[in-house]
Amino acid sequence: MSAETSPIVVKVEDAASVNRELEHASAVLREKATSSGLLVTRVDFTTYTVALSPDIPFGFTRELDLL
């Protein structure tokens, strides 16, 4: 992950908006990705982070659930 690319924190109010909000955040970071994949982490029931990760191959997305 480059120094200028910070993880995106996604806060959702209902289950219906989870996929839409995560897809939007993922699309933003995919545009900046040059050699890293995406890590989507569920922090709690309403909070997710989406980040570029050098540990994930380019073009792949990995999910992590901290619950």
Q: Is residue 24 part of a domain?
A: yes
Q: Give residue for tokens 């380019």.
A: 58
Write out the H or E segment, with its range, that includes residue 21.
helix 18-32
Domains of the chain: total: 1
What is the spatial distance between Cα 58 and Cα 67, in angstroms, rounded to a whole number? 26
| Chain segment 7-58, per-residue pLDDT in tens | 999 999 999 999 999 999 999 999 999 999 999 999 999 999 999 999 999 9
In whole angstroms, give the CA distance from residue 2 to residue 20: 25
pTM: 0.89
User: Does any domain span residue 12?
Assistant: yes
Token look-up 């545009």 returns: 31
Assess if residue 1 is contained within a domain.
no
Residue 3 inside a domain? The answer is no
Residue 25 forms part of a structural domain: yes
Domain of 48, in residue numbers = 8-57
Residue 67 lies in a domain: no
Domain for residue 66, yes or no? no
Cβ 39 vs Cβ 64: under 8 Å? yes
